[in-house]
Amino acid sequence: MMEKPIEEMGLRDIRELARARMPQEVWRHFMGAAETRATFRRNQRSLQRFVFRQRIFHDITDPRTTVELFGHPVSTPAFVAPVGSFAMIRETAEREVGEGAGRARTMLFVSHAAISSPRDWKEASRAPIVFMGYLTRGREDVLRCAKLAEEVGFAAVGLTMDTVQPVKIGDRIPLSKIDGKPRTGHPASPKDIEWLKREVSLPLVVKGIMGAEDARVAVGAGADAVVVSNHGGRILDYNRAAVEALPEVVEAVGRKVPVLLDSGVRGGGDIAKALALGAKAVLVGRPVAWGVAAAGVAGVERVIRLFTDELKRVMIMTGVGAVSEITESILIRE
């Protein structure tokens, strides 16, 4: 059977193509979630509980999806999530994700666990980039990378702080790629946020927030943005869905800092829902991995454009002219 061109593929096609092209163990790593996968499933199910309130009497035909974060305007609120293991897909996958993010005119979050250095990412991508450090790699290495990110012109730096316990896939904690030892967790302390804030002049993002109390602690310690995320269901089984935690985080800190969301976003409708509940933008994890596995640079670009086109369609059908004007009034909770 002839394969459709990537520009005509939907997410399901891209996912299946990625699955066929990835070795089974790599697929399992990417799709993996902790223990029973309850959190993983809940992320998507909770988004599915919202439906839209259609409105047709208006003159909106070309809604604006542009958002601005840390002074960088980007064409879509569908950003690329930090994923440490893109290189398991292909040696060149990180470069391809970087280039694809640039072509899609979105923002690129990159992981401390990736092989590429901040300089490599900067060379690979025209997108504004955010470096996301892991304290498990030591303060010294976080600082080295954050300083380099600052030097080469990243948009922001940050800390992924939810790995208080390590990522778990099923009942197994994956081996670390650097030294072959099992991964360990790292306690989360506001002192680490205060420390990095003192050391770098870029805006600081804290990822892994799942409630109002933690959001207040992060912002109190100096976070300039927070990411509501349960790490795509890879850490705590039977966690709340990210979208369930979003409203209280927005209520707690949304007037002070932008709130982003990830975990379970699988289309433009999900983005509209997250924005309606107060998120400024979303990060997309696994679907970007499917895009790069299926078709490299073009696959990454396709996933982001697909989600953005779907978002536009929802905006037209609910009567919203710009992403900043999306409010809860477009949603009905089932």
Ligand X SMILES: Cc1cc2nc3c(=O)[nH]c(=O)nc-3n(C[C@H](O)[C@H](O)[C@H](O)COP(=O)(O)O)c2cc1C
- The token duo for 68 is 């601005």
For ligand X, which is the closer residue by CB, 60 or 124?
A: 124
Least Å distance between CB 329 and ligand X? 26
Least Å distance between CB 190 and ligand X? 18
Q: How many amino acids of this chain bind ligand X (CB under 6 A)?
A: 24
Least Å distance between CB 84 and ligand X? 3
Q: Is 113 in the site for ligand X (CB under 6 A)?
A: yes
Interface with ligand X (CB under 6 A), residue from 239, 263, 308, 318? 263
Interface with ligand X (CB under 6 A), residue from 168, 231, 273, 305? 231
Least Å distance between CB 86 and ligand X? 8
Residues 268 and 122: their CA atoms lie apart, in Å, by 27
For ligand X, which is the closer residue by CB, 29 or 90?
A: 29
* Interface characters, 173-212, with ligand X (x: CB under 6 A): ----------------------------------x-----
DSSP-based three-state secondary structure for 208: strand
Least Å distance between CB 144 and ligand X? 17
DSSP 115-130: SS-HHHHHHH--S-EE
Interface with ligand X (CB under 6 A), residue from 107, 132, 249, 311? 132
Residues 46 and 15: their CA atoms lie apart, in Å, by 21
Residue by residue, what is the 3-state secondary structure of 242-286? Answer: HHHHHHHHHHHHCCCCCEEECCCCCCHHHHHHHHHCCCCEEEECH
- Which residues are known catalytic residues? 231
Residue type, 41: R
Q: Is 265 in the site for ligand X (CB under 6 A)?
A: yes
Residues 165 and 283: their CA atoms lie apart, in Å, by 22
* Interface characters, 279-298, with ligand X (x: CB under 6 A): ----xxxx------------
Interface with ligand X (CB under 6 A), residue from 100, 118, 264, 267? 264
Applying the rule CB under 6 A, the residues between 84 and 103 that interact with ligand X are 84-85
Specify the stretch interacting with ligand X by CB under 6 A; choose among 116-124, 229-237, 247-255, 267-275.
Answer: 229-237
Specify the stretch interacting with ligand X by CB under 6 A; choose among 9-17, 20-28, 189-197, 228-236.
Answer: 228-236
Interface with ligand X (CB under 6 A), residue from 100, 118, 232, 268? 232
* Interface characters, 24-43, with ligand X (x: CB under 6 A): -----xx------------x
- The token duo for 25 is 């163990």
Residues 220 and 150: their CA atoms lie apart, in Å, by 23
Residue 274 buriedness (CB in 10 A; 0-12 / 13-18 / 19+): buried
Measured CA to CA in angstroms, residue 292 lies from 117, 213, 236 at distances of: 19, 36, 27
- The token duo for 255 is 């007037």
Least Å distance between CB 1 and ligand X? 29
Interface with ligand X (CB under 6 A), residue from 9, 14, 83, 129? 83
Interface with ligand X (CB under 6 A), residue from 111, 116, 125, 318? 111
* Pick from 90, 143, 148: nearest CA to 119: 148
* Residue 323 and residue 66 in contact, taking contact as beta carbons nearer than 8 Å: yes
β-bridge mates for residue 133, sequence order: 159
Query: For 5-9, which contacts have Cβ atoms below 8 Å and span 24 or more sequence positions?
Result: 6/294, 6/295, 6/298, 6/299, 6/302, 7/298, 7/302, 9/294, 9/302
Residues lying near ligand X in the complex (CB under 6 A): 29-30, 43, 81-85, 111, 113, 132, 160, 207, 229, 231-232, 262-265, 283-286
